[in-house]
Amino acid sequence: MNAPGCSVEQRFYQALRDGALPRTARHLSPQQAGLGGPALAELFEAQVLSRQLDLHARRLAARGEVFYTIGSSGHEGLAAVAAALRPTDPAFMHYRDAAFFIQRSRQLPGSTPTWDLLLSFVAAAEDPIAGGRHKVLGSKPLNIPPQTSTIASQLPKAVGAATSLGLWRRLGGAGRWPADSVVMCSFGDASFNHSTAQGAVNASAWTAFRGVPMPLLWVCEDNGLGISVPTPAGWIEASVRARPAMRYFACDGLDLLDTYQTAAAAVQHARRHRQPAFLHLRCVRLFGHAGADAEQAYLSGAQIAANEARDPLLYSAGLLLQHGVLNAEQIRALYDDVGERVRRVAEDAIRRPKLRGAAQVMASIVPPPRPGRARADAELPPPLAQPAPMARLINHALDRLLVRYPHLVLAGEDIGRKGGVYGVTLRLQAKHGAHRVIDTLLDEQSILGLGIGLAHNDLLPMPEIQFLAYLHNAEDQLRGEAATLPFFSRGQFTNPMVVRIAGLAYQKGFGGHFHNDNAIAVLRDIPGLLVACPSNGADAVGLLQEAVRLADEEQRVVVFLEPIALYHCRDLHAPDDGLWCYTDPGPAHRIERGEFGVHGDGQDLAIVTYGNGVYLSRQAAPELQRRGLELRIVDLRWLTGIDHDALYRVVRGCRRVLIVDECRRSGSLSEELMAELCARGLGARRLRRLTAEDSFIALGPAATSTLPSTADIVAAALAMAGIRRRRERAS
């Protein structure tokens, strides 16, 4: 009697026996709604299977066979939304959409949703989507990328995916989905309030308002609760109805016929007008938020009973009886037969192997390679005739890459007509078009989501974040979406891209920590993410061209971190010496991961550094050499996935190693370098690190006071060599 969902199930049986099934408000017939009787029965069966999976998942959890339960009970009306869409329409789904998944599976012969979902529930290694890494709803054949416990993080990439459909038309090609597809994205009423959701919904309307195609169906599943916090009545409608360039639709999610008819109209609007439609689906949440949630703590017994009386299965059974599709005995038999099938299949699923060991878990962090799509016959712009600073060389490399990769798309704030804050993308939009160099709205979550969604549909995106400090409000798009997609899909889904970020410190003209930011720890902490950081223009070209190849051929997500202070730097030691201008190395030049830049072969001191640290160390070199120190400066170039064995081989012949890290002492790359070199036998007395202080960056003359300087490098190197101490004794 205390089994999960017992009271809901008892109410269902009792209502069937008594014939006391609730009536829907609209009184539509199946024919009026655009459904026949058999189709209505099919939708009900999808609802029943979703419910029985929910109930049995909780039973298995009590036996220790299921490890995460968050169910779809009360949201089974999503089966009708699936029926209104095509199986080729990509779906970025809410975690309560098992009925949608089941109904879509019926649209693809040979699908086995019961088996597939149970394998996911029990974390079996044979789970066809995540391979046992999480309970997710997803399927490559069904065009459903996997989502876990998302709090609106899937919405920005849905905007990107919808944008991709129009972009492919402009490019004259085709992606993974038919050109007339509609992108579906569902979420809860509580998630709607998240800044990510608000930004994405706004971005979809903003884009459509500008006349850009946006065939997107938003589905807000409004059950009135955000775990325990009620959603104010009327809030969703009031927040959405008046938005420009987006049409609002509402339906009773407990009524399959109303839901299907309204969803079909919303889909037709999005498909025909290429504008977003917002489907507000009112539903109910049964059994609490998740397996560990006891709703008795915040809902009264009367409230729980009222919710259970609104069970969508009761309303669907009533429709079947009312329209003579099935009788009560047939409905009960269907319900029981599905339950028995779930129990039988579950006993097989729990015996399937689980993931064992780190290697199996990590096997899909790195996506599989694919054939590259660069145009071998592309007529590329000739290399620059004269040495140039980094910004100019990056601009020319981007121009070349846009020609070489016809599916490459740049996107970011101010990158088009303005050419970027620092002129790095100057004239690229005029040459390649506004559809390939896209001026976006001011929202970093939407910019990264745009990139992820474009990549879902086989475009090669290069989103730009204007300043590193602006990344931090959007970094979960990289951590929770971009990098995890191959992990949770066994490499079946990927979103390769190159994210350009202007960052680090030392720049003059702009001030304060919003434009000078030396915090990169979050980028180094994301499994599978690659981070490249050039110190000079030639390396910038080689790293950028390799980053694009990695995204195109190896499906990697790469962050290209560009040191702002070095964009227009020309001189190294004296005004007009031009020593920090470099010759364009050409289109074939690529700097692979693990390929360090090594300047000098001295054995007295190795300086290991990157970005601005390379420039400062090169500035310090003449003074150190004058003081008798023979140097070796090692430019890391790649800041993740460092080959520490190779680095040790480069520096082990040196008497001392100084790590110069322009980022903060706590959480900086220097910590990793120190630990790994020590672990390989480099004694602590031979090692030292020079870092920035654990501080934000100030304005004006104080801007560099917390950062390593050329003088600091000289002092640290001399102190390590004992030169200063010998001079003091001599005096």
Q: How many CB atoms lie within 10 A of CB 574?
A: 8
Radius of gyration of the chain (CA): 29
Read off φ and ψ for residue 531, nearest 5 degrees.
Answer: -125, 120
For residue 150, give every residue at least 6 positions away whose Cβ sits within 8 Å of its Cβ, in sequence order, or none: 94, 95, 187, 191, 480
Half-sphere exposure of 685 (CA within 13 A, CB side): 2
Q: How many CB atoms lie within 10 A of CB 344?
A: 11
515 is catalytic: yes
Q: Which two tokens stand for residue 551?
A: 């995204």
CB 418 within 8 A of CB 445: no
Question: Which residues make beta-bridge pairs with 659?
Answer: 608, 689
Give dist(CA 620, CA 578) in Å, integer. Answer: 17
Give dist(CA 686, CA 680) in Å, integer. Answer: 13
CB neighbour burial string for 485-509, b if at least 16 within 10 angstroms, e if fewer: bbbbbbbbbbbbbbbbbbbbbbbee
Read off φ and ψ for residue 312, nearest 5 degrees.
Answer: -60, -25
Give dist(CA 377, CA 472) in Å, integer. Answer: 40
Task: Indicate the burial class of 376 (C-beta count within 10 angstroms; 0-12, 13-18, 19 or more).
Answer: exposed
Please choose, from the candidates 385, 383, 382, 432, the residue with its C-alpha nearest in 3D space to the C-alpha of residue 406. Answer: 432
Question: Which residues make beta-bridge pairs with 437?
Answer: 410
User: Which residue is it, tokens 């981007």?
Assistant: 398
CB 417 within 8 A of CB 433: no
User: Which residue is it, tokens 């209502």?
Assistant: 15
Give dist(CA 179, CA 176) in Å, integer. Answer: 9
Where do the DSSP E strands lie in 283-435?
408-412
Give dist(CA 425, CA 581) in Å, integer. Answer: 18
Where do the DSSP E strands lie in 478-566?
497-503, 530-532, 557-563
CB 461 within 8 A of CB 497: yes
Terminal-residue alpha carbon distance, the chain: 91
Question: Which DSSP state fits 240?
Answer: H
Mode of pairing for the β-strands spanning 497-503 and 460-465: parallel
- CA dihedral 89→92→94→98, nearest 10 degrees, is 50
Determine which one of 75, 280, 456, 515 is catalytic: 515
Read off φ and ψ for residue 660, nearest 5 degrees.
Answer: -105, 115
The 3-state secondary structure of 598-616 reads EECCCCCEEEEECCHHHHH
Task: Indicate the burial class of 329 (C-beta count within 10 angstroms; 0-12, 13-18, 19 or more).
Answer: exposed
Residues labelled catalytic: 515
